[in-house]
Amino acid sequence: AVSTHKMSVDTDESAGIISKHIYGHFAEHLGRGIYDGLWKQDENGDYIIRDDVIDALKDLGIPNLRWPGGCFADYYFWEDGIGPKEQRPSVVNNLWGGVTEDNSVGTHEFMDLVAELETDPIVVGNVGSGTVEDMANWWQYVNHPGESPMSKLRAENGRAEPWNVEYWGVGNESWGCGGNMRPEYYADLYRRFATFLHPYENVKPFRIAAGAAGADYNWTDVVMERAGDMIDGLDLHHYTIQGSWTTKKGEAVNFDESDWFELMDRAIEMDEIITGHKKMMDKHDPEKRVWLIVGEWGTWHEQEEGSIPGFLYQQNTLRDALTASVTLDIFHQHLDRVKMANIAQTVNVLQAMILTDGEKMLLTPTYHVFDMYKVHRDAVALPIKLNKGKYRYEGESLPALSATASRDKDGRTHISLTNIDPNEARTVEIDLKGMDVSAVKFGRILTAEAMNAHNTFDNPNNLVPVSFDGARVEKGKLIVEMPAKSLVTLEL
């Protein structure tokens, strides 16, 4: 028999606002994310913005885009990427495939892209191998409204107006690829670099410090203690990895239930990790002024066989999609501190929204999760209580259900429910406290027969959300029949 789970939603109360910036994205100079992803070569070999990709991202509506890395940020010299293209030097992307790039995409090209996408740029400056002067000049180049050496240079390169970039990263993963620093050292360096990001009349910097790796709570403790007063956002990175980080990660498509269970378990760990960092942040910033930003998250599998080493190209299945919905639910549960997040990475890299192959393009199941969840952006989170039940596998168990409920600015209520159990359907009986609902207005579901269902270039619509008719109102309660391994979003 299908088990029934009780849930209640306080529809006239608020658990806070779900920041739209939780739905942010990330585009690094890595693999085919920038070149042959967001940009493509025209017949003359020049890189142009790829319209089909941009249209798909515009449909999704992305609130922000983080660039140019990632690890790349700490060996990126912005001056290489401005001015006439033929005069730009080539550089070697040492960490990601060792490929040579000609800096065709630089500051102006990135700013054109974010203007097209109508999204907020997040620029990450080079602390690992750059100087304070380099970063201060980049800030001035991008933002100075008046007369200055850098605004003059910007105008000479065709852009008189400043771009007013507010979100500014001071290094990336400074504990690792960004310089292998101790938190004590980074905190001092951060203070120094951040000092020279001067506010102008048109823009004040929102300064983002490199946060911890996964469960390294000491990093957060030390950085917040020593530099917290100068930090606006702390950029935690945590990936969902099945298998072993050092020997062999799990595969994106060829997996069994034990791998499914393990990946779900890893995804749910995000809750514990955020809780741990929040504790440290609360110690030094009890008013919760500083945002916890999950600036890199998502599934990281072995890269696809035959793809270029270091390019991190992977397929994306129903399993990835459900880890995304569960993770977004966790972010919402921590909305008092988590105000921004960036899934890695937008196109052709890791848990991408979009994959391309020559002229072909597909939307991944994770794209569809973001699409189904966009109703929660900037909405009021409604307090929920949920009997999550248990997904059991070989003597172990995980919470089977996960949910978010919110009310948007037009007064519409939305509920998203995920059932990670690949075997058992579940019925959820929802008590909508404070709301008289007679019928469900609209519902969509993402599910499939196969655990590893995914979209291919030959069959790009194999796994897409479809209309859902498994929800009804009965004796004042909302009854939702959740199939195994599914995500449902309802509008009431």
> Is 173 considered catalytic here?
yes
Q: Which residues pair with residue 213 across a beta bridge?
A: 237
Q: Around 120, how many Cα atoms within 13 Å sit in the side-chain half-sphere?
A: 16
Phi and psi angles of residue 139, each rounded to the nearest 5 degrees, phi first:
-55, -45
Question: Minimum Å distance from CB 11 to ligand AHR?
Answer: 38
What is the pattern of x (binds ligand AHR, CB under 6 A) and - over residues 296-315? x-------------------
Of 28, 173, 251, 262, the catalytic one is 173
Report how far Cα 387 is from the mean position of its chain's Cα atoms: 28
Write the DSSP assignment of 107-121 as a string of letters.
HHHHHHHHHHHT-EE
Please select the residue that binds ligand AHR; options are 19, 137, 172, 402, rule is CB under 6 A: 172
Site stretch for ligand AHR (CB under 6 A), options 225-233, 343-351, 420-428, 465-473: 343-351
Q: Does residue 124 touch ligand AHR according to CB under 6 A?
A: no
DSSP class of 250: P
C-alpha Rg value of the chain to the nearest Å: 23
Report how far Cα 463 is from the mean position of its chain's Cα atoms: 21
Q: Does residue 71 touch ligand AHR according to CB under 6 A?
A: yes
Q: Which residues contact 428 (CB under 8 A, 6 or more apart)?
A: 4, 5, 6, 7, 386, 401, 417, 479, 480, 482
> Is 429 considered catalytic here?
no
Q: Does residue 344 touch ligand AHR according to CB under 6 A?
A: yes
Q: Does residue 173 touch ligand AHR according to CB under 6 A?
A: yes
| CB nearer ligand AHR, residue 177 or residue 361 | 177
Q: Which residues pair with residue 240 across a beta bridge?
A: 299
Q: Crossing angle, helix 365-373 and helix 318-333, to 10 degrees?
A: 30
Site stretch for ligand AHR (CB under 6 A), options 39-47, 67-75, 122-130, 214-222: 67-75
Q: How far apart are CA 30 and CA 25, in angstroms?
A: 14
Please select the residue that binds ligand AHR; options are 323, 345, 413, 489, rule is CB under 6 A: 345
Q: How far apart are CA 298 and CA 312, in angstroms?
A: 12
Interface of this chain with ligand AHR, residues 27 to 56, rule: CB under 6 A: 28
Q: Does residue 333 touch ligand AHR according to CB under 6 A?
A: no
| CB nearer ligand AHR, residue 143 or residue 172 | 172
Q: Around 471, how many Cα atoms within 13 Å sit in the side-chain half-sphere?
A: 29
Question: Minimum Å distance from CB 96 to ligand AHR?
Answer: 7
| CB nearer ligand AHR, residue 129 or residue 459 | 129
Q: Does residue 74 touch ligand AHR according to CB under 6 A?
A: no
Q: Does residue 179 touch ligand AHR according to CB under 6 A?
A: no
Of 296, 359, 424, 429, the catalytic one is 296
Amino acid of residue 96:
W
Q: Does residue 371 touch ligand AHR according to CB under 6 A?
A: no
Which among 53, 24, 42 has a CA at the least distance from the CA of 347? Answer: 53
Interface of this chain with ligand AHR, residues 132 to 161, rule: CB under 6 A: none
Q: Does residue 120 touch ligand AHR according to CB under 6 A?
A: no
For the beta carbon of residue 163, count every other beta carbon within 10 angstroms.
Answer: 20
* Cβ atoms of residues 24 and 448 within 8 Å: no
Please select the residue that binds ligand AHR; options are 24, 31, 33, 69, rule is CB under 6 A: 69
* Site residues for ligand AHR per CB under 6 A: 28, 69-71, 172-173, 237, 296, 344-345, 350
Q: Which residues are catalytic?
A: 173, 296
